Amino acid sequence: MGCTTSIYAVGRKKKKSVPEVVVFVPSMRIPVQSDLQRPLRGLIPKDLADRLSCLRNQIVLVAEDTGGSAITELLRALEEYLCVLIGLTKKEYGVEGLIQFKWKNLEDGRHETCIANSWFEVLSVVHLMAMLTLLEADSLMIPKDHSGSGIRVVSSDCKRDAIDLLLKAAAYLEFCVRDVLVHIPPDIKKRLPTDLQDGVLEAISIQALGQGTEIQLGLAVECQKATLSVKRRLACEELSYFSQAYHRLSECGMDTNNGYGKKLLWFIKWKFLEAKAAAYYYHGLILDKGNEPSCHVSAVCCFLAAEEILSECKKACLSFCLATPVTRAPPLWGSMKHLQQKIPEVASRKSQMYGYLLEQEKALQALPDLPDFQLSLRPDDYQLPEIDPAWDSEKWEIQGQPLKEHLKDSEDEIETE
């Protein structure tokens, strides 16, 4: 059909190189050519079926041609398709389970999933929107040198935009768990690929919130007005998010020994350790303001713990980068750009300064608990767009006939074939 010709001016896939990763995007799934028109013949107007097919084919073509890099074009096409797709989920039209929707893993193209359920298609579309949004946030956070000076900078505006995108991605994923999976029968849920299972969706949603908090902490470190209490709170919240994401991923049955499952787990562990080092460092600075010897001893314990955790961070980062598919860590940014040097310096200085207290107060040499804070970064609930007006069946006429007469004609045609 002519509608398979892309209306978008997009380039072909770029030559592969080892990419830098700030925001980790798990395995992306894209649609595969599926026959939408034949199953819908005689059940909905032909122009509506053609439009559904045309919109989906455009997504297939752009995703295949660009490897998912045409983020703006794909998101626009997915949102337009979703408005029309919603009609297939309405029970009154009786077409919910007629179409075999096919999707595949973009990275290897081998793991193709084919399921005859319209809610599966909605789930796959919203999931792809979430992955593209994470990809867009990642592109904003990759340092760029536009001046040719060799200095790569991410502006504060880009960082704030990235936080908004991470919140949007989390909202998409929460919507999938809360409002889409509930419509999919248990037997079909068992056939869903791992990355569409509720535990994985929840883990990636929490990961997005953790990374949003990580960026907030980086902005706070760069702001002279931000207090130690604010920085500690953000570090503790980030730690809590990544702790939740780690446990959720560990419990959900995802294969974390190979491929993207392994890489995702290492990424979350890396970010968990970074947040933990920052949390103990800022907690130590606040404790050190106390007047009692015990405060200084506890502060030194925090600094030494932060230094030890920092060395674990480097190992986790390396393991993440080397896990398939191989990636590169970006130049140090955010809080780590500051803390990578600051933590060892403060740990060494304070250990020497309070060495005599550490000897005298050996009973107090216990790592203090970090404070608990209510998590503050929450996405707004995502809602599906309004159903396309073309689904108003009262206005359906096919070549001048009411739909009911057309259906009868279609049945007669089938009998005479």
What tokens were used for 147? 């001046």
E strands within 80-142? Answer: 101-105, 112-115
Measure the CA dihedral 230/233/238/240, to 10°.
-170
115, β-bridge pairs? 101
Q: Mean pLDDT, to the nearest integer, of 110-115?
A: 84
112-115 and 397-398 as β-strands: parallel, antiparallel, unpaired? unpaired
Instruction: Reply yes or no on whether the pLDDT at 407 is more than 70.
Output: no
Residue pLDDT, tens place only, 45-84: 889 999 999 999 999 999 998 888 899 999 999 999 999 9
**CB 304 within 8 Å of CB 287:** no
Start-to-end CA span in the chain (Å): 24
Average pLDDT over residues 137-149: 76
Residue 401 has pLDDT above 60, yes or no: no
Comparing CA positions, the residue from 172, 192, 32, 34 lying closest to residue 103 is 32
| DSSP output for 140-163 | HHS-B-SSSSS--B--HHHHHHHH
Question: Among candidates 253, 261, 278, 273, which has minimal Cα distance to 318?
Answer: 273
At residue 92, the pLDDT reads: 83
What is the rounded radius of gyration, in angstroms, for the C-alpha atoms of the chain? 26
**CA–CA dist 24, 134 (Å, integer):** 8
As a whole number of angstroms, the distance between CA 183 and CA 267 comes to 31
d(C-alpha 349, C-alpha 152), whole Å: 31
Token pair listed for 263: 């890489």
Q: How far apart are CA 232 and CA 281, in angstroms?
A: 8
Query: Beta strands 401-402 and 112-115: pairing type?
Result: unpaired
186-228 per-position pLDDT tens digit? 999 999 998 899 999 999 999 999 999 999 999 999 998 999 9
**pLDDT greater at residue 394 or residue 99:** 99
Q: Which amino acid is at 6?
A: S
Element (H, E) at 397: strand 397-398
User: From residue 171, how far is each of 37, 135, 206, 381 by CA, in Å?
Assistant: 32, 15, 10, 6
**123-146: burial string, b at 16+ Cβ within 10 Å, e else:** bbbbbbbbbbbbbbbbbbbbeeee
**Which tokens in the block code for residue 30?**
């894209």
The encoded tokens of residue 97 equal 């389970």
More confident residue, 11 or 285: 285
372-383 tens-digit pLDDT: 999 999 999 999
Mean pLDDT across 112-125: 95
Alpha carbons within 13 angstroms on the beta-carbon side of residue 24 total 31
Query: CB within 8 A of 371, min separation 6: which ones?
Result: 232, 236, 283
